[in-house]
Amino acid sequence: MWSHANEVLSNAVARVGTAAANFLPGLLALLIILVFTVVVAFIVQAIIRRALKGIRFDDRVHRWGLPVLAEWEPARKPSALIARLSFWTIVTLGLLVGIAALDANLTSVLVLRAFEYLPNVAAAAMVLICGLLVSRFLARSVLISAVNMQIQSARLLSLGVKWLVMVLTFAMALEHLGIGGQIVQVGFAILFGGIVLTLALAVGLGSKEMVSRSWERQADKTERETEEQFHHL
């Protein structure tokens, strides 16, 4: 009885020891590969950044008038964006190679899943980028037009438009990623409907007098300007 238990115990310890002995070199290899990859990624990033600076890439983007990239400025220069993208691509590849050293089966499953999910991620990223650009463009359009129409709350209007587009964009991106499922759709519908209802109530009831006063002022102003014949052209 005792000898049997002792045998089982020693077998278990031997199995764990063997598993650990098999796993540790892989882990070490993963760490070495990761460190090596990060160093290589930094070097590649620096080379790309310097090369793009050398050919005055940011100026060229300006001159070509690429609004998609130019819209990110001055927060992110187009060259910095490309360099950072290359950095993270190399690190991700390194991570996959490292995991392969750890466990080949796990990597193949991971890579398979990752590639299956990749189109969703790409679509979501595209939706996010387009949504951000559209929201910035529309926000600026509304801001400038509202100021030219002499609407005092121009900035508020612009922010409202920006966040409406952003909320719509995030909801669409999450749907592409398959996160949240119906909850996102229902949540978005409630949020969007709530915003529209709030605005309608505010204009229809709360701000009725303010709006009418504003229209009166506008009509008065137009009339006065016509009388004074202040022609700009």
Partner 1 sequence: MPEVDAVTLDARQELDRVGTADIVLGILSYNNAATIAQVIRNAQHGLAATFPASRSVIVHADGGSKDGTPDLALEAALDKTALVQVAYPVYPVHRLTPDYHGIPGKGNAVRAVFELAQTMEAKACVAMDADISGFTPEWTEALVRPVLESQFDLISPYYLRHKYEGTVITGIVYPLMRALYGKRIRQPIGADFAYSAKLIGHCLEQPHWDSDVTGPGIDAWIATGAIAAGFKLAQAFLGPRTQSHSDPPPQLSSALAQVLVSLFTGMNRMASIWQRLRGSEAVPAFGVDLRAVAESPAADVHPMIESFQLGYRNLQEVWGVVLPPATLLELKKLAARSDDGFRFPDTLWARIVYDFALAHRTRAMDRNHLLQAMTPLYLGWVASYALQVRDADALGVEQRIEALCMAYEAEKGYLISRWRWPDRFNP
Q: Is 54 in the site for partner 1 (CB under 8 A)?
A: no
Among 40, 70, 129, 133, binds partner 1 (CB under 8 A): 70
Q: Contact letters (x/-) for partner 1, 207-226, by CB under 8 A?
A: --------------x--xx-
Examine residue 123 and tell whether it contacts partner 1 (CB under 8 A): no
The verdict on 72 binding partner 1 (CB under 8 A) reads no
Of 58 and 103, which has the nearer Cβ to partner 1? 58
Sign of the four-CA dihedral 157, 162, 165, 171: negative
Q: Which three-class secondary structure state does DSSP give residue 153? A: coil
Put residue 150 in one of left, alpha, beta given phi > 0 → left and psi -120 to 50 → alpha.
Answer: left
Which is closer to partner 1, CB of 22 or CB of 152?
Answer: 152
**Residue 97 to residue 100: CA distance in whole angstroms:** 5
| Closer Cβ to partner 1, 67 or 206, answer by number | 67
* DSSP 8-state secondary structure symbol assigned to residue 76: S
Nearest one of 28, 42, 20 to 98, comparing CA atoms: 28
Contact flag: residue 62 with partner 1 (CB under 8 A): yes
User: What is the three-class DSSP state of 59?
Assistant: helix
Cα separation of 96 and 41, whole Å? 14
Indicate the residue among 62 and 84 with the shorter CB distance to partner 1.
62
Q: Which of 91, 96, 140, 159 binds partner 1 (CB under 8 A)?
A: 140
Determine which residue in the list 21, 148, 182, 209 makes contact with partner 1, applying CB under 8 A.
148
d(Cα 34, Cα 93) in Å, to the nearest integer?
A: 10
- Sequence length of the chain is 233
Element (H, E) at 45: helix 2-54
**By CB under 8 A, which span of 60-68, 77-85, 126-134, 167-175 interacts with partner 1?**
60-68
Q: How far is the CB of 217 from partner 1 (least distance, A)?
A: 10
Cβ 33 to partner 1 shortest distance, Å: 42
Per rule CB under 8 A, is residue 155 in the interface with partner 1? yes
Q: Which residues lie closer than 8 Å to 217 by C-beta, 6 or more apart?
A: none
Residues making contact with partner 1 (CB under 8 A): 59, 62-63, 65, 67, 70, 137, 140-141, 143-148, 150, 152, 154-155, 221, 224-225, 227-233
